[in-house]
Chains A and B, each alone.
Chain A
Amino acid sequence: MNTNPSMERKSWKASRRLFYVVPLAAMFIPLVANDYLQFMVNIMMVYVLVTVGFNLVIGNLGQLAFANTAFFGIGAYTTAILMSHLGFTYDIALVSAAVVGGLAGLLASITALRGIRLYYLAIITMAFGELMRWVYIHADKITHGTDGLPLYNISVFGMSMHSDTAKFYVFLLITVLVVKGVSNLLRSRVGRAIIAIRDNEMTTASLGISTSNYIILTFVMSGSIVGIAGAMFAATTERVFPESFGLTEVIVHFAMVMVGGSGSLIGSVIGGAVLTILPEYFRQFPGMSELFFGGIIITILLFLPKGLASLLAKLSPVFHDRYYRD
């Protein structure tokens, strides 16, 4: 890590430029991408947000809470239910998914506030996800059970969003706003307090900082972001199934955080993107795709235990997250 303030300022400016250049360049993707690639880029943005939200709790707050698939499913089903049964437009359903996801985060934070930590917290929060999946299957009058709940007439502000290109621009805007928001938050005094809780909760509390408030806030933000990702997922697939939010999904989300880099925002973006694309790439090797996928994850974590973000940080200080775990 650089210690020279002027160098730090330079790398901060460079990373800021990079933050705007990448989305601007991405705007041209629809010009060169076919339908399949466009669909994959959209799904990639969904998982980038899933990983950003999950990493807030796991990597930044340091709580081993696996309620992510619950938040993801809640966001997706909130969107689908509001649109299919109540005739809401997608924009309102998306905002509602963020709110309901945040409320789910609030509920999940109760476990952490009760002093439940580590593996116990992991099991309880995973059970929350499984409980929600049971609800999606059995509340079939509302969710249509295993048949899945379809979404019709997806539009934002009166404009149709049925094409993958239209979805792409909406998703790109949401992704940029969320990632920028989280970046700003992590650089603020709130972010500092969240990281302090991760490093030493007792000491943080002894400095007069209300750790409970920050734990609740982080869970709510995580739930909200992953809820938004759920709404984006629902719009991408246009039908929501309970199987999309099972235990395997928790493992995939966790792998995205770890491969990208625990506690790294850049890592979340990379982890979410890479682990969405890789399985698709390996589909061309039928019967071997899982082997390749697993092998790649093992190799990355073996040689880069701090994730792909650590490799980028070594290459350039531009990519060094301020709160990344060294």
Chain B
Amino acid sequence: MLEPTLKVEGIRVAYGKKEILQGVDFELAEGETLCLLGANGSGKSTAMNAISGFVGCKAGTIKLEGQEIQNLPAHKSFALGMVQVSQSRDLFPQLSVEDNLKLGAHVRSRDTAKSELERVYGYFPRLRERRTQRVMTLSGGEQQMVAIGRAVMARPRVLLLDEPSGGLSPQFVNEIGTIISALKEDGATMLMIEQNLGLAFKVADRFIILRDGVVVDGGTVADYADDHEQIVRAIYL
């Protein structure tokens, strides 16, 4: 059997004495998109931050293509190909769109960065139009595009998307959905957190539901395509 690209086994994460994740397990195969669902405070973002190295694990293992990466600092996880687009986007507001994008491939060669930039502009033609514009002057949806584009510049092994539709207008949610689908078609392996079930089910292959720091349910999107209500019940009730 093929080794999963990402394998999370029994991870436990605590903030002080409060244990947020109490033994979470899941796997992500090459080219697959998995969606983490759950109510606020269920541990979705904590799980993602533990995978990308922004928070440490008390116990458990996280393997990227067989290599243990739990408790590696974020920049080392990034170098291995674990690239996160956080909820707050973490852009550089004073820099132009192109500078922000190039920073995603800063540690790669100049030629690679150039070809990656063209690839990103292929996904986001709107960003090419705005390439010299400072990020602080963009709309929320365009900023989200820059954040995703910057992550794509790094050619991630696993792309982690924390609520890509957060705070966006329906038009931008559609656009972001189309872009994520295009990335998926090109073989990207993605783990995403998404409250917008419409978007989640448009792009994800599988989902798992977290409640109080443990995985309580999961399945393939195709099985629940016509029954979103059952998933909502599983998340909130």
Chains A and B are bound partners: yes
Give chain A's interface residues, CB within 8 Å of chain B: 1-5, 8, 189, 192-193, 195-196, 198-200, 202-209, 322-323, 325-326
A192 in contact with B103 (CB, 8 Å): yes
Binds A, one of B6-14, B74-82, B214-222: B74-82
Q: Is the CB of B75 within 8 A of A323?
A: no
Query: Per a CB cutoff under 8 Å, which of A2, A8, A192, A206 touches B99?
Result: A192
Contact A195 B92 (CB under 8 A): yes
Taking the complex as formed, is B63 at the interface, i.e. its CB lies under 8 A from any CB of chain A?
Answer: no
Q: Select from chain B the residue with minimum beta-carbon distance to A1.
A: B134
Q: Are B132 and A193 in contact (CB under 8 A)?
A: no
CB B92 to nearest CB in A, in angstroms, measures 4
Q: Once the chains bind, are B136 and A209 in contact (CB under 8 Å)?
A: no
For the complex, is B104 an interface residue (Cβ under 8 Å from A)?
Answer: yes
A208 near B79 (CB under 8 angstroms)?
yes
Q: How far is the CB of B151 from chain A (nearest CB, A)?
A: 9
B59 to chain A, nearest CB (A): 24
- Please determine whether A8 and B103 come into contact, CB atoms closer than 8 angstroms: no
Pick from B52, B106, B130, B150: contact of A189, CB under 8 Å: B106
**A2-B132, A5-B131, A206-B75 are contacts. A193–B103 as well, Cβ < 8 Å?**
yes
Q: Are A199 and B93 also in contact (CB < 8 A) when A193-B106, A207-B103 are?
A: yes
Closest partner residue, chain B, to A203 (CB atom)? B90
Q: Point out the residues of chain A lying under 8 angstroms from B154, CB to CB.
A: 207-208
Complex alpha-carbon distance, A206 and B131, angstroms: 23
Distance in angstroms from A314 CB to nearest chain B CB is 16
How many chain B residues sit at the interface, stated as a range, is 20 to 34
Between-chain CB contacts (< 8 Å), 14 pairs: A1-B133, A3-B132, A189-B106, A193-B106, A195-B95, A200-B92, A203-B92, A204-B103, A206-B54, A206-B74, A206-B75, A207-B154, A208-B79, A209-B107
Could you tell me the distance in whole angstroms from the C-beta of B179 to the nearest C-beta in chain A?
20
In the complex, A208 Cα to B130 Cα: how many Å? 25
Does residue B94 face the partner (Cβ distance < 8 Å to A)?
yes
Task: Report the nearest B residue to A195, measured CB to CB.
Answer: B95
Most A Cβ at <10 Å: residue of B91, B132, B137: B132
Task: Please state if A207 and B75 are interface contacts (CB–CB under 8 Å).
Answer: yes
A208's contact among B54, B84, B107, B133, by CB below 8 Å, is which?
B107
Given contacts A195-B95, A199-B94, contact A209 B75 (CB under 8 A): yes
Please name 13 further chain A to chain B contacts, defined as beta carbons within 8 Å, in addition to the given A1-B134, A325-B94, sorted by A numbering. A5-B131, A5-B132, A192-B102, A192-B106, A195-B94, A198-B94, A200-B90, A203-B90, A206-B84, A207-B104, A207-B107, A209-B75, A323-B95
B219 to chain A, nearest CB (A): 32
Contact B106 A3 (CB under 8 A): no
Given contacts A195-B94, A325-B94, A326-B94, contact A208 B132 (CB under 8 A): no
The answer to whether A3 touches B74, judged by C-beta atoms less than 8 angstroms apart, is: no
Contacts of A322 in B (CB 8 A): 96
Query: In the assembly, what is the distance between CA of A202 and CA of B136, in Å?
Result: 18
A209 & B103 in contact (Cβ 8 Å cutoff): yes
How far, in whole Å, are A42 and B94 apart by their CA atoms in the complex?
A: 34
Residue A3 contacts which of B54, B91, B133 (CB distance < 8 angstroms)?
A: B133
| A323→B91 CA distance, assembly (Å) | 15
Complex Cα distance A209/B186, Å?
A: 27
List residues of chain B with CB within 8 A of the CB of A206: 52, 54, 74-75, 78, 84, 90
Q: Which B residues are in CB contact (< 8 Å) with A3?
A: 130, 132-133
Pairwise interchain contact B136-A207, C-beta atoms closer than 8 A: no
Most buried by A among B74, B103, B133: B103
Residues from chain A with Cβ under 8 Å of B79 in the complex: 208
Assess whether A192 is in contact with B95, with CB atoms less than 8 Å apart.
yes
Q: Which residue of B lies closest to A322 (CB)?
A: B96
- Smallest CB separation, A198 vs chain B (Å): 8
Please encode chain B, from 122 to 154, with 1 for each CB lying within 8 Å of some chain A CB and 0 for all others: 000000001111101100000000000010001
* Bound form: Cα–Cα A185–B96 in Å: 17
Closest-CB distance, B101 to chain A (whole angstroms): 11
Q: Which residue of B lies closest to A325 (CB)?
A: B94
User: Given known contacts A5-B131, A326-B136, is B106 in contact with A207 (CB within 8 Å)?
Assistant: yes
